[in-house]
Amino acid sequence: MAGSTKTARSSEGRMPLREHLLEIRKRLFLVSCGLVVGAIGGWFLYEPLLSALQAPLEAAAAAQNKVINLNYSGMATALDMKIKVSLFLGVLVTCPWWLYQLWAFITPGLTRKERRYAVGFLGASVPLFLGGVALAWWVLPHAVDILAAFVPEGATNLTDAQGYLSFVMRLVLAFGLAFVLPVVLVALNFAGLVRSTALLAGWRWAVLIAFVFAAVMTPTPDALTMIFVALPICVLYFGAVGIAILRDRSTDKRRAAALSGA
């Protein structure tokens, strides 16, 4: 019986729905285990990470001569903050692990020869995700400085600690995942799920979404910052389209050669 379950996949790497669901459950479990391990490490690095998160608030307070502090509104808020910050660091530190699980889930859709590209997908995804995180970290002080400027003179800004942490987490993870999305598109193309023609046809929507994303995630009044954020996303998208075009041409040529030979 065990041998029959292992052969549930077809020779083309396709899996039935039940196998897909079991595979998703397996990958989610492994991702959860990795996040727990990363969060344990984050627990011991809580103090320096919290200081880094508070640095933009302190810089804005010093530059604008205002009182801006984090406010812990409940008895359990400090503990809750420590858990969330630890998990946040766990997500960042274990990005190679959970990105690998993503590609491990996608690769059954590829042929045995094509699965070696999963190494390339992972090798591209990790630096791109970290590049998105770095860009978000660059945007964060500018966003805090602009938002703090709306505080009236003489007023005290007691920022809710959990609300501020949620803002930072959404900003950092959104930028990281946005930078990984082009690699996902390439992987879907390699798996035969998306053609390059479909990606190219939607380039206007992709550019629009990139600029809307940049406008929403960078709450600053200047257009230059928005352009600096949107341009790398657009470049990565068109790079993914270019790779998909080359891949489709190569696949079409092999198919045409096989048909002519038959």
d(CA 112, CA 135): 36
Tokens for 35? 């996040």
Rounded to whole angstroms, the Cα distance separating 93 from 87 reads: 10
Looking at residue 110, what is its pLDDT? Answer: 58
Contact by Cβ (8 Å): 87, 42:
yes
Q: Is 191 exposed, middle or buried (0-12, 13-18, 19+ CB in 10 A)?
A: middle
**Residue 46 CB contacts under 8 Å (≥ 6 apart), including other chains:** 82, 85, 86
Low-confidence ranges of the chain (pLDDT < 50): 1-13
Residue 152 DSSP SS3:
coil
98, two tokens: 């959970």
Model pLDDT for residues 192-205, shown as the tens digit of each residue? 778 888 888 888 99
Cβ burial of 224 (10 Å; 0-12, 13-18, 19+) is exposed
Q: Is 69 helix (H, G, I), strand (E, B) or coil?
A: strand
Query: What phi and psi values does residue 155 have, to the nearest 5 degrees?
Result: -90, 155
Q: Count Cβ atoms within 10 A of the Cβ of residue 107 and give its class: 0-12 exposed, 13-18 middle, 19 or more buried.
A: buried
Instruction: Look at residue 262 in the predicted model and tell me its pLDDT.
Output: 59
Which residue type is seen at 108?
P
pLDDT of residue 6: 43
DSSP state of 157: E
User: What is the model's pLDDT at position 222?
Assistant: 65
Q: What is the largest CA-CA distance in the chain?
A: 82
Residue 238: the pLDDT is 92
- What sign has the CA pseudo-torsion 254, 199, 117, 22? negative
